[in-house]
Structure 1
Amino acid sequence: MEGRMGWVVKVSLLVAVAGLLQGSVNAQGTVHVVGGSLGWIVPPGGPIAYSTWAANQTFVVGDVLVFNFTNGSHDVVEVSKPEFDSCNATNSSNTIMTMSPANYTLGGAGSRYFICTFQRHCSLGQKLAINITATSPSPVPVPAPSPSIAEAPSDAPTRSPVTYTVGDAAGWNVLAGGATPYQLWAANKTFMVGDTLVFNFVNRTHDVAEVSKAAFNSCNTNTTISLSTNPPVRIVLTTPGEHYYTCTFSGHCSLGQKLAINVIGTSTSATPPSSTPGATPPSSSATPPPPPSSATTPTGTPSTPSPPPPPPASSASSLGITGLTVAVLSIVTMALMY
């Protein structure tokens, strides 16, 4: 009886450890900082800032919204759809969150609506509507690259085209701080041929003009390379080099509504034969090369083996989880032996 009870305890321990490992992987949802770097404020350009931010997010049950704002200047409360549309939280039974950062855990699928109750803040665009799904969409499996592709060197970085929303949640507007916000936005990004810029703004309040560097520096918009007026404006980057954009509305450029970026091209040139993986390296001897008839490398001469390609960076997390699992199961196995 004692032996049987001991095995029951040990099996129960094994099940508990397996459950603990599973919980450690799936316990935490995604944290969404509302508005990104913009935070929770009265946004320039109206509600398009937060609707654009939300359109680029995927909200799942268990995720957390974080509202960052200045205490005493803003607040946040969940409201119904009619209250959201009318910017009236008088009848809302939900608690108004007045201390920043205000965290809100998404507890069920469906639509959620949030506003600031300070006077006119909601009507000026400080409002957020999101849609929550029950589970995350299944990720599309990405096949591992073949060894020949992984080992082949490249003259320039290559990747799939990326779509950038200019200014992120702030959109394309006259922003506080002049041109600095757009300079900071572009500073940490790599723009390549094939990428797309998306300019979001309220129709008939702004436009997007590509101009020369001289016109950009002087804010002279009398002559433009191109001009787009209907939002959202999508510009595909087709040529490498410096590109300059501004708004032609009076005073907007001088107030900082201007963007300068540098675009790099992608390399599609073939790998030179001398750099082909596994090729025999040239001799380092100073003796002149022999005639063509004797240029063949003698049979049996060992060639320098190519180093194996490094493991993909994405495998680091899998290795960490595997190591933890092996360590814990080893402890359990030792327990089962005694």
Structure 2
Amino acid sequence: MAFDKNMVIFFLIFMAFCRGVSMAAVYQVGDSAGWTSVGQVDYQEWAASKNFHVGDTLVFNYNSQFHNVKQVTQQAFEACNATSPIATYTNGYDTVTLEKLGHFYFICGYPGHCQAGQQIDILVSSPTSSLSPSPSTDQTTEPSAASSLYFSYNVCWTLGVLLAFCLSGFHRLSTMAFDKSMVIFFLIFMAFFRGVSMAAVYQVGDSAGWTSMGQVDYQEWAASKNFHVGDTLVFNYNNQFHNVKQATQQGFEACNATSPIATYTNGYDTVTLEKLGHFYFICGYPGHCQAGQKIDILVSSPTSSLSPAPSTQTSEPSVASSLYFRYNLSWILGVLLAFCLSGFAY
């Protein structure tokens, strides 16, 4: 079977597009400290340490009772003037996608906060993909931190299906018969990766994060969610005062943190739910578990039969790290599938 020239060109464009999209990153502004005016973070220094590209996503995590996020012009940024913002975010866990080159200026609009250092200048130096979703400029609702990646992942998956059919000569089915094993593999591939794409990321406690201040009833929060195999939990907290201990049921019920299954101390930790059943987490600082800083996560059904195991390290992976892994795995298998269906091995 000979390759059609147009199909080869489309295949190369598809490869370049998918690889570009897969490099987009998610940054929580201020890392574990989040978006605050108490002087814990030098936001200009934080921004200078990063390389931002078109398609990357910023996550502003803060207490919406005391802060907000205003995207402003350079002039307003320098003057700490929040009266005529380009966009306003007030949810407490807001995402902004960097959709073009240049500077993005953000400040807190509460009196005195910008002057205290709660302002940041984000410089976007080069694009990672020519197709990136635009950030919302008039919404205050909370999209997922990985929403743009989910969008790109599904676009790439759809294009991969179309590519596989094109390369296989789907438009010439009257003169070509599919190999039975290739059809079976194709169907398994479709079912598996559509399931994987449904994996979700949950920040424990939403905008309040992981705390012992009584702002969140964690059992009520967990009961309102449907957790599945492959989903990811994000524990966001001040690691000077808290930690996360994965415990047994006995340790959970007794608030006993002496023999944990795993310990997380970074302040912005992710745990992937890799099996069915209960996952028990408590804060190991004295009195915190007893004050309600404990959560029982029930995983009821898998979204995929293949999910990476949760990390037991204390380093900080991206919120969307597991999705990036699956996205790239999907891309690789998609390429292999396209070649198989095209008759490359003949």
Rg comparison, structure with higher value: 1
Settle same-fold status: TM greater than 0.5: no
TM-score, with normalisation over the residues of structure 1?
0.41
Larger helix share, 1 or 2 = 2
> Which structure exhibits the higher relative contact order, with contacts defined as CA atoms closer than 8 Å and separated by 6 or more residues?
2
TM-score, with normalisation over the residues of structure 2?
0.41
